[in-house]
Amino acid sequence: MRQKNFLATLLFLVAAASDAVGLAQENEAGVPRRLNLPKGFESQVVYVVPKSQGSWVSITTDPKGRLIASSQYGRMYRITPGAGETPTNVEPIDAPIGRAQGLLCAFDSLYVVAHRSHDRKTPAGLYRCKDTNGDDQYDQVKLLRKLGGASEHGPHAVILSPDKKSLYICAGNMTRIPDPESSRVPRHWEEDQFVPRLPDPNGHAAGKMAPGGWVCKTDPDGKSFELVCSGFRNEYDIAFSPQGELFTFDADMEWDVGLPWYRPTRVCHVVSGGEYGWRNGSGKWPTHYPDSLPPVAEIGPASPTGVTFGTGAKFPANYQNAMFIGDWSYGVIYAMHMKQNGASWSAEAERFCHSNALPVTDIVINPHDGAMYFLIGGRNSQSALFRIRYIGSESTDAVAAEELSGEVADRRKLEQSHQSDSGFPLDELWQNLSSEDRFIRFAARIGLEHRAAADWESKITGAVNAWATIEGAVAIGRCGSGAGKKLAAAALGKLDWQTLTRPQKFAYLRANQLLLLRAEAATRDPIRNLEKLDAVFPSGDVELDRELSKVLVVAAPDTAVAKTLQLLKKAPSQQQQVAYAWHLASAKSGWTQELHAAYFQWFLDSAGFLGGHSFGGYVKSIRDMAVENLSRDRKTELAELLAKTPQVKDPYAGLKARATVRQWKVKDLMPVTDADFANRDLENGKQMFAVGGCYKCHRLRGQGGMVGPDLTAAGNRFNTRDMLETLIEPDKTISDQYSATIFAMENGTTVNGRVVNLAGDEYWVQPDMINPDSMVKIKVAEIEQMKESKVSLMPSGLLDTMTRDDILDLIAWMRASQQR
């Protein structure tokens, strides 16, 4: 392994000798002056915010083309951006309100979503500010609705509806739903956990249960609130697309990195009645649950902040239709290029704007000059206002919104049934449960759940389509009668597992879970459905086996426990292993002394696993649950093993234990022909992915870490030479998304890593991708120079213990993993 600290220091000294003066100017006050942008775009620092004006986190435009911004912990300011020789003018807004995480000028008013009290008298809530005497000052401030919640997971954005008649407001999971007068979400939400939920061992969101973050719609006077959707973790902002569809960027739980329930930050399509699956602690719902909705795109580790669409921007056409999302932690604005996908959308992410130490907080398009304005700051860090303009040769003429697909129109029609007393035909709702489009099925099911179950639950006895049976059973499981649940279990029991598609199999498992979880009394009907699946477990599908193990350790523990333990032993990624260990912890039967001994030995063997801040605490909670479920006699039998304390191991211990084959160079392995990939040993390739430590940082088909790039598509995106260069010479081409920064400190030391957090005058730097919880805190004032590192955070030499055949098996397996 390379001594990276020495090389990083050497590289820094060489680079710094040539441009030390220039870098000092570029990083004056900690504000980057050069941003990485696509060709044809330019950026300007419009205003560096003095510390006396706080750290700005929210921004909007007013009818005169000015900007209004708010400090996270202080007052609001009005900004007239400078142009040419005209300087930027900033004036404080003299109104008894501030601390806004949401701002909007509409209906001759300034709407303010305050996330905490401004003066200990005004509560967090939605406020309306007006200029009543025409002097261009807001002299009237009125609380429209109190919002129970505070801080960064509290009340957030407020935006205007596409028809310009209503307001939409969002809030994070620490904010109670504000007693809405109506709801498009059926109000029978539950935790719906089939295996015992583990609370965060560090106490995060203690006691905060379903439904989580929400979006509400209200009138200009804030008199009537309607709940639109729920189930987010901490969506900071929302935005309407040119077609009038609502989207958001929802947060992950970075403390959960390395755990099976970790969900990357995600762009979500916000639809009527939507449920997005956030639950407390380990209870986050996986994407395949049919009673929630999947993301439009997954971004990976990030800290979501402001979002907007490019509507009104004097940008090229593809950017006018893009959704721009801010990542506070890694200093990025992504352009999400949206593509209609049935009744919803998919998206590809482009790193539109990025720089080191660029904590983006909010973004807006100013329709008066067609420029993008965005803020950096937050948590009392240095704040600034930036402007991005297009000065290239492409046309910036306004483009029409893309026409909506027929599926989107169908979904919108079905969503009419989510309103009270809609009178929507029940037969039409039931028919649409058979749709191949997930969003259409979801809209139809939510419509049914708004109606009395007695009016429709008997329809499941005549269902001839697998989707209708499964989705109908989900609806009955959530709100049906006891008799309806028996009908649903019987209907599910008639389905042939082998003929179900992969998505239907996941949904089938969830439907039976819901019938059991919400049963008024104990029933064997869904259990019998699940017991039959013991014959097909394990299936060889990693994700499906995780879900099968979850239900079978409950439904058929006498055989499923031993099978799940075997899967745990063979699982190549720590996420898979932790998942199986979690499922087994709740099993009270199906054990022998030998099986229990092997299970508890795993906790000792896994001591080298690393993850986010809560990783170790969660693993301890799993073990504690398992010990609690032991009989008194079994505890006595295992006393010696249970008394052992896990010893933290070198995460590369398995790699170091292998003998070095050779220090591979790309030229040693090339050329590689198609014939070389014939009849490769894919199982060995899968093992090599684990041996090389790849799972620790990289995700492949939903398994593995998230601190490095997702490699699911890498096998088919790159040719063999490119893949070998990436694996053997990681320093040759470093993605700017995963590049590190070298910090030269005043005391002569250097720190090499990625900035992932800011707090006041400190940067939090992650120096080790293998251990995402490792942090080095450095004072901004003590930084002498900052320079992009030319040394990859990915270690070299990872293939040196492999043979040529091992390496070709690895590449073949990575390619094959995308083809299923």
Tokens coding 480? 């049906």
- Number of Cβ within a 10 Å radius of residue 39: 7
Q: What pLDDT, on a 0 to 100 scale, did the predictor assign at position 709?
A: 62
Burial 644-658, CB ≥16 within 10 A → b, else e = eebeeeebbeebeee
By C-alpha distance, which of 660, 647, 687, 609 is closest to 1? 660
By C-alpha distance, which of 426, 416, 428, 432 is closest to 184? 416
Tokens coding 599? 């299970």
State how far the Cα of 307 lies from the Cα of 612, in Å rounded to an integer. 26
Q: What pLDDT, on a 0 to 100 scale, did the predictor assign at position 586?
A: 94
Which residues does 94 contact at the CB level (< 8 Å), separation at least 6? 137, 138
Q: What pLDDT, on a 0 to 100 scale, did the predictor assign at position 1?
A: 33
- Contact predicate 352/338, CB 8 Å: no
Mean pLDDT of the chain: 88
- Contact predicate 1/354, CB 8 Å: no
State how far the Cα of 111 lies from the Cα of 143, in Å rounded to an integer. 10
- Tell me if residue 737 falls in helix, strand or coil: helix
State how far the Cα of 693 lies from the Cα of 806, in Å rounded to an integer. 14
Tokens coding 434? 């058979």
Residues linked to residue 111 through DSSP beta bridges, in sequence order: 104, 128
Amino acid at 446: I
* 179-188, 457-466, 764-773: the lowest-pLDDT one: 764-773
State how far the Cα of 740 lies from the Cα of 788, in Å rounded to an integer. 6
Q: How confident is the model at residue 518 (pLDDT cuts 50, 70, 90)?
A: very high
State how far the Cα of 680 lies from the Cα of 250, in Å rounded to an integer. 40
Q: How confident is the model at residue 8 (pLDDT cuts 50, 70, 90)?
A: very low
- Contact predicate 493/525, CB 8 Å: yes
By C-alpha distance, which of 39, 88, 45 is closest to 390? 39
By C-alpha distance, which of 204, 217, 208 is closest to 178? 217
Q: How confident is the model at residue 705 (pLDDT cuts 50, 70, 90)?
A: low
Tell the burial category of 458 from Cβ atoms under 10 Å away from its Cβ (0-12, 13-18, 19+).
middle
Q: What pLDDT, on a 0 to 100 scale, did the predictor assign at position 706?
A: 52
In 623-737, which ranges are E strands? 699-700, 703-704
Cα dist from 609 to 600, 614, 656, 767, 770, whole Å: 15, 12, 16, 17, 9
* 85-94, 445-454, 628-637, 795-804: the lowest-pLDDT one: 795-804
Q: What pLDDT, on a 0 to 100 scale, did the predictor assign at position 301?
A: 84
State how far the Cα of 273 lies from the Cα of 185, in Å rounded to an integer. 4
Amino acid at 433: L
State how far the Cα of 455 lies from the Cα of 545, in Å rounded to an integer. 36
Q: Quote the pTM value.
A: 0.85
Please identify which residue in the block is written with the tokens 């995963």.
738
Mark residue 476 as left, alpha or beta (left: phi above 0; alpha: psi -120 to 50; beta: remaining): alpha
- Number of Cβ within a 10 Å radius of residue 590: 19
DSSP single-letter state for residue 609: -
State how far the Cα of 269 lies from the Cα of 801, in Å rounded to an integer. 45
Amino acid at 762: E
Q: What pLDDT, on a 0 to 100 scale, did the predictor assign at position 116?
A: 78
Burial 313-349, CB ≥16 within 10 A → b, else e = bbbbeebbbbbbbbbbbbbbbbbbbbebbbbbbbbeb
Give the strand pairing for 182-183 and 225-232. Answer: parallel
- Contact predicate 440/410, CB 8 Å: yes
- Contact predicate 272/443, CB 8 Å: yes
Q: What share of the chain is helix, strand, coil (3-state, %, to 5)?
A: 35, 25, 40
- Contact predicate 158/142, CB 8 Å: no
By C-alpha distance, which of 267, 273, 227 is closest to 251? 267
pLDDT above 90 covers what percent of the chain?
A: 67
Q: Which residue has the higher pLDDT, 810 or 581?
A: 581
Cα dist from 479 to 470, 522, 711, 740, whole Å: 14, 16, 40, 51
Tokens coding 810? 């690895």
Please identify which residue in the block is written with the tokens 């979801």.
442
Rg (CA), the chain: 28
Q: What angle do CA 430, 433, 434 make, to 5 degrees?
A: 115
- Contact predicate 255/614, CB 8 Å: yes
Tokens coding 41? 């775009």
CA 203 to chain centre: 20
Tell the burial category of 110 from Cβ atoms under 10 Å away from its Cβ (0-12, 13-18, 19+).
buried
By C-alpha distance, which of 87, 67, 88, 65 is closest to 77? 67
Please identify which residue in the block is written with the tokens 């097909």.
536
Residue 625 parent element (H or E): helix 615-628
Q: Write out the DSSP string of 368-407.
A: TTTEEEEEE--TT--EEEEEEEE-SSS-----PPPPPPHH
Residues linked to residue 113 through DSSP beta bridges, in sequence order: 102, 126
Kindly state the average pLDDT of the residues 112-116.
91
CA 84 to chain centre: 40
> Is the pLDDT assigned to residue 14 strictly greater than 50?
no
State how far the Cα of 237 lies from the Cα of 53, in Å rounded to an integer. 23
By C-alpha distance, which of 501, 421, 273, 418 is closest to 429? 418
pLDDT in tens, 480-509: 999 999 999 999 999 999 999 999 999 999
Kindly state the average pLDDT of the residues 184-191.
97
Residue 655, φ and ψ in degrees, nearest 5: -70, -45
> Is the pLDDT assigned to residue 287 strictly greater than 60?
yes
- Tallying the residues shown for the chain, one arrives at 820
pLDDT in tens, 576-586: 999 999 999 99
Tokens coding 431? 């028919």
Question: Does the bond joining 286 to the residue before it have cis omega, within 30 degrees of 0?
Answer: no
> Is the pLDDT assigned to residue 757 strictly greater than 80?
no
pLDDT in tens, 302-343: 899 999 999 999 999 999 999 999 999 889 999 999 999 999
> Is the pLDDT assigned to residue 42 strictly greater than 80?
yes
Tokens coding 165? 């008649």
Q: How confident is the model at residue 200 (pLDDT cuts 50, 70, 90)?
A: very high
pLDDT in tens, 649-682: 666 666 666 788 888 888 888 888 778 888 898 8
Q: What pLDDT, on a 0 to 100 scale, did the predictor assign at position 2?
A: 35
By C-alpha distance, which of 550, 445, 517, 559 is closest to 185? 445
Tell the burial category of 239 from Cβ atoms under 10 Å away from its Cβ (0-12, 13-18, 19+).
buried
pLDDT above 70 covers what percent of the chain?
A: 88
Amino acid at 62: D
- What sign does the CA torsion over 198, 203, 208, 213 have? negative
Kindly state the average pLDDT of the residues 243-259.
94
Q: What angle do CA 98, 100, 103 make, to 5 degrees?
A: 110
Q: What pLDDT, on a 0 to 100 scale, did the predictor assign at position 420?
A: 77
Tokens coding 748? 């002569």
